[in-house]
Amino acid sequence: MNKENQETGKVITQGVVSRRNQDGTVILMKLDESNLFFKIDGIAAATWGEYENPVTLNALIEKYSAVYTENQDQLTRDLTAFHQELSRRGLIVSTTGAQTLQKTTGTPSPLKKVTPYCFGSIKEFNLEQIETEVLSESLYLDVFAGSDLRLKKDITPIANALDQVLQLDGVHFEWKNADAPQGLQAGLIAQQVAAAMPELVRKDSESGMLAVNYPKMTSYLVEAIKTLNTQVRTLEDRIKELECN
């Protein structure tokens, strides 16, 4: 999987294949230890897969379904245990006999021609420029994002970053969805981020749910810290001036 995968996309990092759609979304799938493709979650909180273009997903799944077929004898000697393991890992398996992906709303969404590939969920999300970021609650890697000056145009400073950051509340919370990561979580409220920094929020076309691009929040925090540093230095100079008088 080190070579370009022709019309279906390209390998963006070892074992990860991608396909960019015309709308800018990218499907990411990763090989596990058994050479089976499984989901890589995007920036949305849901643990189930989302999709916006079934035709695209069908093409990708059909192309790589041979990976499952080639390993089927080894992996399905105990089919029940195999499906239980897939379920435990958060991968979608069929419970009705129909091969489906499940939307974030919980509604089963049938896909065609996926019989050999009956266990994967797929997450689509925006992948800007040439990023190799993998965003997941359960997968943490050293990642790099394309940020070379030569890739960019119309560069302008982020203005009033501190004022925008101050509009946000850092909160503790727990997910309502039983399938989401359990226990105390920390994060932001997407609606607040959308009001202050709309370019950092994406709205799901089907569920209407909002998702925050947390890594890009760093650019706002950098400028906010610089503003605070300027204010502190100004106050320090003023204090020194008063002390001298």
Per residue in 40-96, pLDDT (tens digit) is 443 222 222 333 344 444 444 444 344 444 544 444 444 455 445 444 544 433 434
pLDDT for 88 equals 52
Same-domain pairing of 179 and 221: yes
First to last CA, the chain: 72
Indicate if 193 and 91 belong to the same structural domain: no
Answer yes or no: is 182 within a domain.
yes
pLDDT at residue 10, rounded to an integer = 35
pLDDT at 145: 60
* Helix spans in 33-103 (H): 54-70, 72-75, 79-88
- Note down the domain range covering 39: 6-124
Residue ranges of the chain with per-residue pLDDT less than 50: 1-27, 31, 33-69, 71-79, 82-83, 85-87, 89-143
Domain count, the chain: 2
Could you tell me if residue 202 is inside a domain?
A: yes
pTM score: 0.47
Same domain for 114 and 58: yes
Assigned domain for 63 exists: yes
- Please report, for residues 114, 186, 194, 196, 219, the alpha-carbon distance to residue 165 in angstroms, rounded to integers and kept in the order given: 45, 16, 12, 8, 11
Q: Encoding tokens for residue 228?
A: 């605070």
Same domain, 82 and 182: no
164 and 99 fall within a common domain: no
Q: Specify if 130 maps to a domain.
A: no
Does residue 147 fall inside a structural domain? no
Q: What is the pLDDT of residue 146?
A: 65
